[in-house]
Amino acid sequence: ILKTLPGSPGNTRLVSLGDLGAYGSAGTTSNFEFSKKFLEGFGMPFNIITGNHDLEGMTEFTTDKENFAAWKKAFDVSSPHGTFSQQIAEKTLLVGLSTEQFRDNKFSSHEVFISDPQLEWFASVLKAHPAEEGWNIVTFSHAPPMGSQLRHLNSVHVKNTCAWLNHAQGTTRRRTFYRLAREHGGVSVWCSGHFHLSHDYEDSMGIVRGHHPGSMTAYATTGVIGHKSCRDGRRQSRIIHGDAETIRIFSVNHHETVSNGVHVEPLRLDLSFPSSLAARARLSALGEFPKRVPLPEGEKISEGDEWWFSARTPQQGDGCYLPTSEGSLDIVDQSTPGAVCWWHMKNGAVVGVHDGLLVEYDDETLAPVGLVAAKDDVKDRRVEVAEDGVTLILRSESNPEGTLEILPRDDGSYHRVFQENKWIRFLREQSRAKSADAAAATSKN
């Protein structure tokens, strides 16, 4: 990373997006101490935020409060919610948000939870640094906001409602971050990790326009450094370089120097755009808008290469789009590989079939919010909508008794909860182990 920093270091700062340790040591005091020495080894000031695994020290701490306090103590973090706000250059602000819950999450422990006080703090920081006055804000969070258009894992994070910030906290709370960024107009870059994926997908970056002329947020997936924690075998970090004229986002490759016989440069430019909101507005008026630099063919991961990483944002060109729930879904054979069908339910929900999964989408951002039915339930069944417009029918042609009906919950949503809170599972396993030990001791006596 240090060798590839473009130009003079200038006002340089390191930011860690969390998830510091491997399984077994994550979230422990010893891991925090080791990680601090590692980050100090870069020889530059650094900021840090928590990831979900940083509060996973279940063998050492019994509460999130204790675990979070140990993390703050280890890294000399004074803010009550693990946030930071750091001006790094003229009209340039770095802002970090931390997850505060693991054991206390209602569903998946791995949901990245931003508390209401922290969210209020974030909104106040944005208000104090308006885009109209020339501020560029670079935001860091472990998980991305819903609506970021980033590649995600339907079968892991979406299934377990832990893909987005405040994913399981209800529609309004999970949309808040996306809305704040669009309304402010100066949140130019938002970096996140969480998915442990590389930058070699077209949708490892998402560029979302704001409400102000020329305003945009470049959402950037940030990869991992360690061999054991990467999902696709490619390890990368980000470098953001800015000056008075231009902001550039780079990838730093840690994993290889040759891919498919092609030499891979350690530093790759992924996006470049004007620093000034006014300059971006002028480009927008001309019909131009920043686009990510096309990935070199030798480095790009395509759907065919990594089919199990498949992700989908519904589009009207999918061929099975129904603007309302009226009509048959038999337009496309859903068992056909690659078939994509999605539709609006009468109650406003958006549901779709992709890669053999029945997925519910947010109706504002069209980001997935959860799985309605897994592949085993969808296999050999056709998905239909009942005449009432709200009941989903998974019809089995070969076995009528195998037909399933799915009704919305009280809040109008359809997705299911698949993953139990890890802390609850941990306590239950501990209890079983103690009971087994006690039974063994009794039998010996």
DSSP string for 267-325: EEEEEEEES-HHHHHHHHHTT----PPPPPTTTPPPTTTSGGG------GGGS-EESSS
At position 387, the amino acid (one-letter code) is E
Res 210: pLDDT: 94
Full-model pTM: 0.87
How would you write the pLDDT of the chain (445 residues) with one tens digit per residue? Answer: 777 676 556 689 999 999 998 777 899 999 999 999 999 999 999 999 999 999 999 999 999 999 999 999 999 999 999 999 999 999 999 999 999 999 999 899 999 999 999 999 999 999 999 999 999 999 999 999 999 999 988 878 898 999 999 999 999 999 999 999 999 999 999 999 999 999 999 899 999 999 999 999 999 999 998 877 888 888 999 999 999 999 999 999 987 766 666 666 788 999 999 999 999 999 989 888 889 999 988 788 875 544 434 455 555 555 454 444 444 444 344 555 555 677 888 888 889 887 788 899 998 998 999 999 988 888 888 888 888 889 998 988 788 888 999 999 988 999 988 877 776 676 777 777 776 776 666 766 6
409 burial level (CB within 10 Å; 0-12, 13-18, 19+): exposed
Domains of the chain: 14-285 (3.60.21.10), 312-406 (no CATH)
Tally Cβ neighbours within 10 Å of residue 242.
Answer: 19
Nearest to 19 by CA among 178, 166, 226: 226
Res 97: pLDDT: 99
Which tokens is 73 given? 């103590």
DSSP string, 29-45: HHHHHHHHHHHHTT-S-
Is the CB of residue 21 less than 8 Å from the CB of residue 31? yes
C-alpha distances in angstroms, 312 versus 231, 306, 357, 359?
19, 14, 11, 10
Q: Please name the residue that has the structure tokens 């998830």.
A: 19
204 Cβ contact list (under 8 Å, min separation 6): 150, 151, 197, 198, 220, 221, 270
Max Cα–Cα distance, the chain, nearest Å: 86
C-alpha distances in angstroms, 93 versus 15, 89, 96, 131?
13, 7, 10, 11
Is the CB of residue 216 less than 8 Å from the CB of residue 188? yes
Q: Please name the residue that has the structure tokens 């941990």.
A: 426
DSSP 8-state class, residue 7:
S
141 Cβ contact list (under 8 Å, min separation 6): 17, 49, 96, 97, 112, 114, 165, 177, 190, 192
The strand pairing partners of 94, in sequence order, are 86, 138
Return the H-helix or E-strand segment holding 175: helix 171-184
